[in-house]
Amino acid sequence: MIDTYKDKGLRKRLIDELTHKGINDKKVIAAMLKVPRHFFMHTDFRTHAYQDKAFRIAEGQTISQPYTVAFQTQLLQIEKGNKVLEIGTGSGYQASILVEMGAKLITIERNEILYENATKLLHKLGYNATCVLGDGSLGCANEAPFDKIIVTAGAPVVPKALIEQLKVGGILVIPVGDESVQKMHSIIKKSKNNYEEIILNDFSFVPLIGEQAW
Ligand code: SAH
Ligand 1 pocket, mutate which of 57, 61, 127 (most atoms under 8 A from CB) = 61
Give the position, in ligand 1's atom list, of the atom nearest the Cα of 95: 7
Cα 153 to ligand 1 centroid, rounded to whole Å: 6
Q: What is the pLDDT of residues 81-103, one digit of tens each?
A: 999 999 999 999 999 999 999 99
Instruction: Work out the average pLDDT over 60-67.
Output: 94
Q: Which residues line ligand 1 (CB under 6 A)?
A: 61-64, 87-88, 90-91, 93-94, 108-111, 114, 135-137, 152-153, 206, 208-210, 213
Instruction: Look at residue 113 in the predicted model and tell me its pLDDT.
Output: 97
**pLDDT at residue 55 in the model:** 93
Range of the domain at 66: 5-203
Question: Is residue 10 a part of any domain in this protein?
Answer: yes
Q: In the chain, what percentage of residues exceed pLDDT 90?
A: 95
40 belongs to a structural domain: yes
Residue 209 domain flag: no
Q: Is residue 214 part of a domain?
A: no
Decide if 199 is inside a domain.
yes
CATH number at residue 126: 3.40.50.150
Q: Concatenated DSSP letters for the chain? A: ----HHHHHHHHHHHHHHHHTT---HHHHHHHHHS-GGGGS-GGGGGGTTSS--EE-STT-EEPPHHHHHHHHHHHT--TT-EEEEE--TTSHHHHHHHHTT-EEEEEES-HHHHHHHHHHHHHTT---EEEES-GGG--GGG--EEEEEE-SBBSS--HHHHHTEEEEEEEEEEEESSS-EEEEEEEEEETTEEEEEEEEEE--PBP-STT--
- Within a domain: 208: no
Tell me, yes or no, whether 211 lies in a domain: no
Per the domain annotation, does 141 fall within a domain? Answer: yes
The pLDDT tens digits for 191-207 are: 999 999 999 999 999 99
Its pTM stands at 0.98
- pLDDT tens readout for residues 135-157: 999 999 999 999 999 999 999 99
Q: What is the tens place of the pLDDT at every residue in 14-36?
A: 999 999 999 999 999 999 999 99
Average pLDDT over residues 55-78: 95
pLDDT at residue 148 in the model: 98
Number of domains in the chain: 1
